Amino acid sequence: MSVQFAVNIQQQLVSEECCQCGMLFAVTADFQRRCREKGDRFYCPQGHSQAYSETEVQRLKRELEAERRRLQIAKDEAASEFNLRIKEQKKRQRLEKRVNAGVCPHCKRTFRQLADHIKCKHPEVNETK
């Protein structure tokens, strides 16, 4: 008694073109993926050496590093803007405090009447400090 088996194998092929002779040939999708990931060399039917200039892993690492640099630049800019805002806020508060104490912001002279005026007519200014 003889037993016969029929096996159907389906394989997805991907076309490639030789960069030297231009010959069109096909490789399996799995083979192409491995070559791209590892950077392995392969050959066209005429024997010309082929390789992908940048592996998929290398490309993804390069893109990841570029994104990390962009993120760091954005963080640095945000920190710089925050520090600048804090500096300006402190500067404004200092100037406001000096004016409330009767100091002219332009000539730096003290005017007692201004200080008294702010104390009497604007008591809420001193209460918030």
CA distance 49 to 19: 9
Q: Is the pLDDT of residue 128 over 60?
A: no
Q: How far apart are the first and last CA of the chain?
A: 104
Residue 98: name the closest of 69, 129, 75, 62 by CA. 129
pLDDT, averaged across the chain: 87
Return the residue matching tokens 């200092």.
Answer: 94
Q: What is the mean pLDDT of residues 3-11?
A: 84
| Residue ranges of domains in the chain | 11-53, 89-127
Q: Which two tokens stand for residue 101?
A: 């104490």
Largest CA distance in the chain: 122
| 23 to 20, 31, 45: CA distances (angstroms) | 8, 18, 8
**What is the pLDDT at residue 2?**
80
